[in-house]
């Protein structure tokens, strides 16, 4: 939501990731940009009711990230339980509140133009590759794709040309049109979504505060302050427990890690929203959706995800009021897509959970939605 300030003439009011290979489509995409439509995909009887908005996967012996799953070093009892089953049929789930905390926000000063009108800070650009019509997804082999929730189609944008070993861990997308890709060796690179050959080193120093790979996403400061920054959750191999993993942000100017507190999940991906909320997708099994206080990392609410198995790689994103989970449950280098009707847009009183794509043309280890993306169904 954009806030408009009107200045009266009489006075000025100051307002301020497993295996190295993906599918054939993923492995051969370096020769050019191609599109893959939903016609080649097998989906469940339901389709996504709207378009929904990265974090690490686990990689087995490699050390997982936002995508690849790994065996946790310790496993405290899960916060909530769920039934296990193949997610090929629609199921429902109710959110279970486990704790509450108060979120704080950071105010951002806006600038006033010479005409006396307050200019929006951090506006969304008009790009050739729009930031508000889909979810950017990352393959294990460093290819950037786009998923369109309204049609369940995938489009290849191109391979990342960063001069690093093409083994990726997680990803977040900012509101300026750059995908921040985290590699398995903890290096962070910035890729232009309109031209994936344009890759730069933003200067992030790995291993700050002992943090290795981490789930990551861009989150707005608040509902009124759309400027965003990276939030991360250390992927330390501890599935869950009381305050087991570091939750932090990255200073947008210095790229220094800023500790916020401890979360209850150490095998989790992160996603954020344009109104300042932060969520974790935690596994391995049973997996859960967790809203966290981004100021402290404390758990606000836990939603069970029955039948959603992280498998050989996982990621998720929030888009248009709902969540989309990308999981390689069979560890076969192709992800399935599961849609959670988080806002109950169909009005049936439950948060329907169903598989909408059985076999994506890639194994997804990172997903990112710009905070320019819609918060409600389109």
**pLDDT tens across 304-351, in order?**
999 999 998 999 999 999 999 999 999 999 999 999 999 999 999 999
Label residues 267-290 b or e (16+ Cβ within 10 Å = b).
Answer: bbbbbbbbbbbbbbbbbbbbbbbb
pLDDT surpassing 60 at residue 268: yes
What's the distance, CA 363 to chain centroid? Answer: 15
pLDDT surpassing 50 at residue 205: yes
Give the pLDDT confidence score for residue 115 in this predicted structure. Answer: 59
pLDDT surpassing 60 at residue 50: no
Give the pLDDT confidence score for residue 286 in this predicted structure. Answer: 83
Q: Are 181 and 171 in contact (CB under 8 A)?
A: yes
Nearest CA-CA partner of 17 in 71, 61, 72, 69: 69
Q: Are 180 and 187 in contact (CB under 8 A)?
A: no
Question: Averaged over 281-300, what is the pLDDT?
Answer: 95
Residue 121 vs residue 201, higher pLDDT: 201
Q: Are 331 and 124 in contact (CB under 8 A)?
A: no
Rounded percentage of the chain residues whose pLDDT exceeds 70: 69
Give the pLDDT confidence score for residue 116 in this predicted structure. Answer: 64
Question: Averaged over 274-290, what is the pLDDT?
Answer: 94
Rounded percentage of the chain residues whose pLDDT exceeds 90: 65
Give the pLDDT confidence score for residue 203 in this predicted structure. Answer: 98
Give the pLDDT confidence score for residue 24 in this predicted structure. Answer: 39
Strands (E), 184-251: 188-192, 195-200, 214-220, 228-234, 240-250
| pTM for the predicted model, two decimal places | 0.73
Q: What letter does residue 90 receive in the DSSP assignment?
A: -
pLDDT surpassing 60 at residue 189: yes
Give the pLDDT confidence score for residue 61 in this predicted structure. Answer: 36
The pLDDT confidence band at residue 114, using thresholds 50, 70 and 90, is: low
The pLDDT confidence band at residue 118, using thresholds 50, 70 and 90, is: low
Number of other residues whose CB lies within 10 A of the CB of residue 368 = 32
Residues 6+ apart with CB under 8 A from 73: 236, 237, 238
Residue 188 vs residue 13, higher pLDDT: 188
Angle at 95 between CA 100 and CA 331, to 5 degrees: 115
Please give the full DSSP string across 137-195, using - where no structure is assigned: EEETTSEEEEEETTTTEEEEEEE---SS-S-EEEEEE-TTSEEEEEETTS-EEEEETTE
Give the pLDDT confidence score for residue 71 in this predicted structure. Answer: 39
pLDDT surpassing 50 at residue 299: yes
Token pair for residue 122? Answer: 């951090």
Mean residue pLDDT of the chain comes to: 79
Task: Lowest mean pLDDT of 56-65, 244-253, 269-278, 352-361, name the range.
Answer: 56-65
Token pair for residue 17? Answer: 């990731």
The H-assigned helical ranges of 181-310 are: none
What is the rounded distance in angstroms from the CA atom of residue 333 to the CA atom of residue 34? 19
Give the pLDDT confidence score for residue 55 in this predicted structure. Answer: 39
What's the distance, CA 281 to chain centroid? Answer: 9
Give the pLDDT confidence score for residue 99 in this predicted structure. Answer: 40
What is the rounded distance in angstroms from the CA atom of residue 150 to the CA atom of residue 331? 26
pLDDT surpassing 60 at residue 42: no
pLDDT surpassing 80 at residue 28: no
Pairing assessment for the beta strands 135-139 and 364-368 based on DSSP bridges: antiparallel
Nearest CA-CA partner of 182 in 248, 134, 138: 138
What is the rounded distance in angstroms from the CA atom of residue 41 to the CA atom of residue 52? 19
What are the pLDDT digits (tens) for 126-156? Answer: 999 999 999 999 999 999 999 999 999 999 9
Distances (CA, A) of 367 to 157, 182, 305, 344: 14, 11, 18, 23
Token pair for residue 362? Answer: 């890639």
The pLDDT confidence band at residue 375, using thresholds 50, 70 and 90, is: very high
pLDDT surpassing 90 at residue 353: yes
Question: Which residue's entry shows tokens 């009489």?
Answer: 10
Q: Are 229 and 275 in contact (CB under 8 A)?
A: no
């Amino acid at each position: 939501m954009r806030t408009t300030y009107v200045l009266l003439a009489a006075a000025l009011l100051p307002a301020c990731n497993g295996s190295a290979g993906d599918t054939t489509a993923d492995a051969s995409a370096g020769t050019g940009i191609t599109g893959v439509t939903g016609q080649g995909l097998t989906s469940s009887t339901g389709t996504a009711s709207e378009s929904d908005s990265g974090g690490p996967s686990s990689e087995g012996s490699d050390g997982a990230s936002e995508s690849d799953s790994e065996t946790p070093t310790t496993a405290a009892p899960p916060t909530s339980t769920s039934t296990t089953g193949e997610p090929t049929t629609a199921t429902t789930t109710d959110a279970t509140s486990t704790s509450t905390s108060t979120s704080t926000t950071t105010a951002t000063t806006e600038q006033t133009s010479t005409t006396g009108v307050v200019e929006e800070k951090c506006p969304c650009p008009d790009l050739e590759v729009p930031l508000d019509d889909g979810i950017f997804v990352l393959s294990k082999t460093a290819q950037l794709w786009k998923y369109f929730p309204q049609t369940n189609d995938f489009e290849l944008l191109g391979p990342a040309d960063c001069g690093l070993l093409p083994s990726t861990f997680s990803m977040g997308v900012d509101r300026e049109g750059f995908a921040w890709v985290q590699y398995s060796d903890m290096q962070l690179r910035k890729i232009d979504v309109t031209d994936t050959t344009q890759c730069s080193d933003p200067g992030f120093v790995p291993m700050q505060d002992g943090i290795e790979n981490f789930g990551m996403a861009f989150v707005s400061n608040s509902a009124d302050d759309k400027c965003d920054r990276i939030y991360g959750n250390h992927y330390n191999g501890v599935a869950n427990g009381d305050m087991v993993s570091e939750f932090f942000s990255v200073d947008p100017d210095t790229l220094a890690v800023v500790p916020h507190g401890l979360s209850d999940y150490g095998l989790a991906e992160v996603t954020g929203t344009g109104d300042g909320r932060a969520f974790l997708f935690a596994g391995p099994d049973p997996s859960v959706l967790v809203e966290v206080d981004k100021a402290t990392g404390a758990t606000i609410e836990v939603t069970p995800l029955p039948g959603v198995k992280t498998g050989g790689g996982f990621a998720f994103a929030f888009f248009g009021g709902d969540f989309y989970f990308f999981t390689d449950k069979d560890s076969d280098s192709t992800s399935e897509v599961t849609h959670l009707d988080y806002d109950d847009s169909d009005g049936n009183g439950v948060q329907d959970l169903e598989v909408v794509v059985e076999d994506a043309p890639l194994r997804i280890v990172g997903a990112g939605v710009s905070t320019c993306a819609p918060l409600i169904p389109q």
